[in-house]
Amino acid sequence: MNKRQRLEATISGEPVDRVAVALWRHWPGDDQRAEDQAAAHINFQRDYDWDFIKVSPASSFCLTAWGVEDRWEGSMEGTRRYTKRVVEKPEDWSQLKVLEPSADGLGRQLQCLECLEESFKEEVPYIQTVFSPLAQAKNLASDDTLIVHLRQNAGQVHHALQVITDTTVAFIHEAKRRGIAGIYYAVQHASYLKMTEAEYQVFGRPYDLQILAAANELWLNALHVHGAHIMFNLLADYPVQFVNWHDREAPPDLETGLKKIKGAASGGISRDVLHNEDPEAALDQARDAMQQTEGHRWILGTGCVVLATTPVGNIRKVRTLADEL
């Protein structure tokens, strides 16, 4: 099977020649330059031959044209700390305007996709990370500011969420012209630690569905539900081909999750366990995930990005194990 055949069979629950596998990580520093970011992804793919590439820009790529600033300060995850926000007062939300897809970090990301298209054509599927409007709003303000404002100044926050959605939809349409197989849609607020289900139904789901509709004709869309105490049941019907969540840290487990979704599940290994010096515990988790899923509708991976300091030998052993399962 080629990569697309293997993934499509996995998603539909048909037999495969081996378990599909993909890991992904952030590329701090390199993610600030289109060609360097592309080269990092290309080299990672050539080293390990994943079944797809999850393109992992900094979370600020979609926000810098609105004026946020951030920097990498050594996080093992590879994420950056925001040093300047643009929303402090409720009325600041009303100042946001729809961005052109070519604006600043958005345009740089499109350039990265062009490099990937030139390198891989249709040989290797690649999917672009897209952050939910709530996740983007959180980074424009701060999590605490966002939650307070949406509870006290709902109209202004809704205005901003629609502006963010419209900007994101326009970016997706341009990304489709650069050969993406799908989007990796990252949701961060569908957690009982952050919001109630009723709040997410109002401030999250309507905008999520607008964005997923923009990617509807693509064949490899993913939903990532980030964090602990997640509202899995609320998002289980989202129109995507596979779902990725921290299955080793946050219920449901893979076996239970697969009963609730239509496509495939991605996960099985804790990124923290994979980060250990000894890879055996991570490989044991992968074998357990194989038993949970019986190898059907399952993509071997971690629940989130691999830590940037993960031993390369551990990553190699996970990739080798996929050939054996």
Domain ranges of the chain: 3-324
Architecture of domain 3-324: Alpha-Beta Barrel (3.20)
Helix (H) or strand (E) holding 300: strand 298-302
pLDDT at 244: 98
Contact 246, 301 (CB under 8 A): no
Q: Which amino acid is at 309?
A: T
- pLDDT tens profile 147-168: 999 999 999 999 999 999 999 9
Cα 124–219–259 angle (5° rounding)?
Answer: 110
- pLDDT tens profile 246-261: 999 999 999 999 999 9
pLDDT at 126: 98
pLDDT at 111: 98
- Determine the Cα–Cα distance for residues 257 and 244; give it in Å rounded to an integer: 10
Closest alpha carbon to 274 in 299, 223, 249, 309: 309
Exposure of 98 in the CB half-sphere (CA atoms within 13 A): 12
pLDDT at 177: 98
Give the percent of the chain with pLDDT over 90.
99
pLDDT at 39: 98
pLDDT at 143: 97
Pick out the chain residues at pLDDT < 70. Answer: none
**Which residue matches tokens 């495969």?**
16
